[in-house]
Structure 1
Amino acid sequence: MAPEDPAWGPALERAVAGEGVSVVAQPIVDVAGARVAGYELLSRFEGPPRATPDLWFEAARAHGLDGALTARTVGLMREVAATRPEGTFWTLNVEPHLLLSPEVSDLLLAPARLDEMVVELTEHVGYGEDPGLARVMAAIRSLGGSIAMDDAGTGYSGLTQMLAVRPDIVKVDRSLVSGLDRDPVRRAAVRLLGDLSGQMDAWLLAEGVETLAELAELAALGVPLVQGWAVGRPGPGWPDLDPVARAALLERGTRAGLGHYVFGLVRPAELRGWPQEDGPEDLRAGEVVVDDTGRPRRVVVADPGGGTHLAPALVVSPSSPPDDVLRRAMARAEEWRHAPVVCTDARGRVMGTIAVVALVDHVLEHGAGT
C-alpha cells in the first residue's frame, strides 16, 4: 500500500492513539569491554497494515501525522528506557525537522535531566545549520543528553553536516560495514571516519554488523562501539550480548592484551566543576574540570614555575590504539602537548586520565599499531 493511500488514515490515527505500538531494544556493544554499553530503542507497529516502521513513518509524513506519531513513540520510549539496566545509555531516532515541532521537543526536554539519552539525527535529511535546530540540540546537551549522527558516510551533504553538528556519537552506515573485512577501501573509509570522530571527541559506532569477521575487523580498527545482528538482535526487554560474539571479543582481547588499547594506561583522576567562587589558583594539577553535565572540558596542568593552567581536554575511548592517541596528543598546541589525555566511557563520563609519558613509553616498548 502506497504511503499516500487513504487507507493509511485510520491506521495512523490508531497508532497515534497508542494502539498496536510497541518498543524493542537492540544492544550497543562496548568492544573493549565485551559488554552491552547501551540500547537503541526501535518502534514496532502491529497493524493492519503489516508494514515496516519506515513505511509507517513515511505514510505519517504523507498524511501530516509524522509529528504526532513521533511524539507517541518518543513518549513510549521514555517510559521503557526508565527500566533499562543500570549503567547503560539509550538512543532513539528523530527526524531533525521534527525537533522543531513542539509536540516532539516538549517530550524530549520536559524532564530536568536527559543523562544517558542519545538523540540520533538521520543524516540523509538535509538540515544544514538551522538556528532553531541548533537551539534544540544545545538544550538537549545542556540537560545532559547527547547527539548522534545516523548513517554517517552516506546521504545528504554528510561531511558538511557532521562538521556543523559536531555529534557526540557518529554511527557508521551499514553500507560501509558490510564486507569491510574483505574490502580495504571500506576499511580506509571507516578509519577516516574514526580519525574525524576522534578530532571532534566523538565516539564511533558501527551499525549493521552481521558477521564475526566484520566484528573482528572493526575491533582491529579500534572502533569502540558496534551494533548489529552479530552481537545482538532487537527484541523485547533488554537483550544481552550474543554469547558467541562475547567469546570472540574476549578471545581477541586476551590475544591482544592491554597493549592493543589505551585502557590499561588509564589512571584515576580527580574531578571538579568549573571554577566559580574558587579561582584558578585553587586548581590542582591532574584534575579534570567537568561541565554541569559531567563531561570533561579542561585538564589542569602544572606550570614549570609551580602554578597551574587549564588545557582543553583531549577525549578518547578506552579502545583507542595507543599510537593513535599519542599522535593526537602531539598534534595539539605546543603548550598543551603534555597535558593528560582524558578517557571516557560510552556515556561520556570520565574513567580517568592517561599521562603522555606513559603513551610514549608504551609505543617505544611495543611499537606502533599495538
Structure 2
Amino acid sequence: MRLLHRVIRDATDPSVVLRRVTEQALHVVAAADGAAVELLEHDTLTYVCTAGALGHALGLKLRTEGTMSGLAIDLAATLCCDDAETDDRVDREACRSVGARSLVCVPLRHPHDAQALGVLKVTSAQPAAFTADDVTTLARLAGFVAVAISAAADTARVAAEVETFNSLPSSTFVANVLDPAIVASADARRRVERVLDEGTLDVVCQPLVNLEDGTLVGAEALARFPQVDETGPLPPDRWFADAHAAGLGVRLELVAVRKAVHLLDHLPPDAYLTINVGPDVIAAPELAQILAGADPTRVVLELTEHFPVEDYERLRGALCEIRRRGTRLAIDDTGAGFASLAHILKLSPDIIKLDRDLARGIDDDPIRRSLAAALVAFAHRIGAQVVAEGLETEAELSTVRELGIALGQGYLLGRPGPPAALMASV
C-alpha cells in the first residue's frame, strides 16, 4: 500500500508539470537560455521551477511592485523587454543577479476564476533576443500552461485524500486512472524488492567449451529467479529490466555478480567465469570490492546488447583499472544489433560472443555464415577470441568450427546448471 501511494504521489507531483513547462519553454523559444515559473502569493513572486540559465535562481523571491512580472500580472498582458539595462519596467538589479538582459513575462491566471497564478518567464543573456513571433507564441500558450499547473495541483490534492482511505481498491483505481502501467510498475518493484530482501536470486552456470577437443575452458554465470505465480517463471531479462525501471537495477546486478563470483571455487582452476554486467555496474565502486576476493585473470565481464551505453569515455575509464588487474572484457550478443558492434569498436574487447540467433541454422544459411566469417576475421585482427553461442546441433557445431571459431556454448555442449552438473556435462 505504501508503495502504491508513493507512485501515485510521484505521478501527480505538480513539480513534474512545472519542470516540463520550463523545459519546453526553452525548446519552443530558441533564443531563450533560461526559463522559470513564478507563483504569486500576496505581493510576492517565487521562482518555484527553473531551467537553463535560471537554474541557479530556484527559490528566488521578488516583489510584484517594480518588476515586469508584476506589471504583466496587473495588465493581464504578455510583456517583452529588449534590454534590462535601459528598460525602467524591470527590476534591474534582479535581472543582473540572474544574468537576464532580455525577457518575456507571460501572466498566468486560474482557469476557473481568472485569479492570478503567477508568471511564465523566459530570459536571454543577450539584448533584443526575442522576436514578436516569440512573444505571440508564449502568449497563446498562457492558457494551456495555467490549466496544466492548476490541474496538476488539483489532482495532487485529491490523490492525497485517497491515502486517508487506506484502501487498496481505492488506491489501485486512482493509479490506473492516472496511468494503467503504474500498478504493474508498482507490482514489479515490489517483486524485485522481495528478491533483494529475501536473497532468493540464484546463479547457475553454462559451460564454455573448446570445440576442437571438447574440454571445458570456462562457464557463463546466469541468474535465476523464483517463480512469481502459477504461470511460471519470468525470464531473467525481464527481472533486470523491471529492476532498472524501478531504480534497483544496479543493486540487483551487484547481487548477481556477488553470487556468481562464488562459483569460481567450484570450477577447475584453469577455467574462467563470464559474468553479465551493465555499464552502470562496471562504473560502480562496489564492483571492484566484489572482485577483489577473486582471481582477476579468471573473471570475464560480459557487456551485452541489452544495456545502452550513454558515455563510452566514462565506461572506458572504469574498465581501464579493472582490465589492468587482469580481468577481461567480453561483448555479448554480437550480431544481434548495432549496440554490440559499437561496443566492439569503442571498447576493444578480449572476447566476442556471437549471438545465438546468428548461430541458429548457420549450417543452412549462407548469409549467417558470411556475417559470422566477417566477425571472426575482424576479431582475429584485433586479437580477440570468438565464442559461438546457442549451438544446438552437430551441423551448427561443424560449421562454426570450419569458420575458425574455437570456442562454443549452447545446449548441445551443456545446459545451465550448478557447477557439479556442468563438470559432468563435458
Query: Structures share a fold, TM > 0.5?
Result: yes
Describe the superposition over 1:254-309 as per-residue Cα deviations: whole angstroms up to 9, x where unpaired: xxxxxxxxxxxxxxxxxxxxxxxxxxxxxxxxxxxxxxxxxxxxxxxxxxxxxxxx
Q: Which residue of 1 aligns with 2:274?
A: 91
Secondary structure class of the residue paired with 1:239: helix
Residues in 1 aligned to 2:196 and 2:342: alpha-carbon distance in whole angstroms = 34
Counterpart AA for 1:79: H
Residues in 1 aligned to 2:181 and 2:234: alpha-carbon distance in whole angstroms = 11
CA gap of 1:229–1:112, structure 2 versus 1, over 3 A, is closer
Q: Which residue of 2 aligns with 1:10?
A: 190
Which of the numbers 404, 410, 414 marks the counterpart of 1:228?
410
Deviation, structure 1 residue 202: 0.3
Residues in 1 aligned to 2:266 and 2:186: alpha-carbon distance in whole angstroms = 37
CA gap of 1:157–1:46, structure 2 versus 1, over 3 A, is closer
Q: Which residue of 2 aligns with 1:126?
A: 308
CA gap of 1:126–1:67, structure 2 versus 1, over 3 A, is closer
CA gap of 1:79–1:42, structure 2 versus 1, over 3 A, is same
Deviation, structure 1 residue 9: 2.8
Q: Which residue of 2 aligns with 1:196?
A: 378
Deviation, structure 1 residue 2: 7.3
Matched, 1:179 2:361: yes
Query: Which segments of structure 1 move beyond 4 Å, counting only runs of 4 or more?
Result: 1-4, 240-243
Residues in 1 aligned to 2:424 and 2:364: alpha-carbon distance in whole angstroms = 23
Q: Are the counterparts in 1 of residues 296 and 326 from structure 2 also a CA contact under 8 Å? A: yes
Relative contact order higher in (CA < 8 Å, ≥ 6 apart) = 1
Matched, 1:81 2:296: no
Which of the numbers 241, 253, 272 marks the counterpart of 1:58?
241
Q: Which residue of 2 aligns with 1:366?
A: none
Q: Which residue of 1 aligns with 2:20?
A: none
CA gap of 1:112–1:186, structure 2 versus 1, over 3 A, is closer
Residues in 1 aligned to 2:250 and 2:340: alpha-carbon distance in whole angstroms = 24
CA gap of 1:112–1:204, structure 2 versus 1, over 3 A, is closer
Q: In the comparison of the two structures, how many residue pairs are matched?
A: 243
Counterpart AA for 2:242: A
Counterpart AA for 2:200: G
Describe the superposition over 1:118-149 as per-residue Cα deviations: whole angstroms up to 9, x where unpaired: 00001343326622211221112111110000
Deviation, structure 1 residue 80: 2.1
CA gap of 1:72–1:157, structure 2 versus 1, over 3 A, is closer
Residues in 2 aligned to 1:12 and 1:182: alpha-carbon distance in whole angstroms = 42
The alignment's TM-score, normalised by the length of structure 1, stands at: 0.61
Q: Which residue of 2 aligns with 1:263?
A: none
Q: Are the counterparts in 1 of residues 312 and 346 from structure 2 also a CA contact under 8 Å? A: no
Counterpart AA for 1:25: C
Residues in 2 aligned to 1:168 and 1:103: alpha-carbon distance in whole angstroms = 23
Counterpart AA for 1:46: P
Which of the numbers 204, 208, 218 marks the counterpart of 2:390?
208
User: Of the two, which has the highest radius of gyration?
Assistant: 2
Describe the superposition over 1:143-176 as per-residue Cα deviations: whole angstroms up to 9, x where unpaired: 1110000011122344333121110000001121
Counterpart AA for 2:284: S
Describe the superposition over 1:218-258 as per-residue Cα deviations: whole angstroms up to 9, x where unpaired: 11112011000011100112434787xx7xxxxxxxxxxxx
Residues in 2 aligned to 1:112 and 1:45: alpha-carbon distance in whole angstroms = 24
Q: Which residue of 1 aligns with 2:107?
A: none
Describe the superposition over 1:303-343 as per-residue Cα deviations: whole angstroms up to 9, x where unpaired: xxxxxxxxxxxxxxxxxxxxxxxxxxxxxxxxxxxxxxxxx
Which of the numbers 21, 26, 38 marks the counterpart of 2:201?
21
Residues in 1 aligned to 2:323 and 2:303: alpha-carbon distance in whole angstroms = 14
Q: Which residue of 2 aligns with 1:258?
A: none
CA gap of 1:126–1:60, structure 2 versus 1, over 3 A, is closer
Q: Are the counterparts in 1 of residues 261 and 294 from structure 2 also a CA contact under 8 Å? A: no
Deviation, structure 1 residue 87: 1.3
Residues in 2 aligned to 1:118 and 1:103: alpha-carbon distance in whole angstroms = 17
CA gap of 1:119–1:18, structure 2 versus 1, over 3 A, is farther
Residues in 2 aligned to 1:241 and 1:218: alpha-carbon distance in whole angstroms = 23
Counterpart AA for 1:8: A
Q: 1:326-345 to 2 correspondence within 5 Å?
A: none
Matched, 1:137 2:319: yes
Residues in 2 aligned to 1:62 and 1:158: alpha-carbon distance in whole angstroms = 22
Residues in 2 aligned to 1:43 and 1:150: alpha-carbon distance in whole angstroms = 15
Counterpart AA for 2:222: L
Secondary structure class of the residue paired with 1:85: coil
Deviation, structure 1 residue 185: 1.4
Q: Which residue of 1 aligns with 2:297?
A: 115
Describe the superposition over 1:14-42 as per-residue Cα deviations: whole angstroms up to 9, x where unpaired: 22235221111100011122211100011
The alignment's TM-score, normalised by the length of structure 2, stands at: 0.53
CA gap of 1:128–1:190, structure 2 versus 1, over 3 A, is farther
Matched, 1:36 2:219: no
Describe the superposition over 1:185-237 as per-residue Cα deviations: whole angstroms up to 9, x where unpaired: 11111111100000110000010111111011111112011000011100112
Q: Are the counterparts in 2 of residues 96 and 125 from structure 1 also a CA contact under 8 Å? A: yes
Identity %: 34
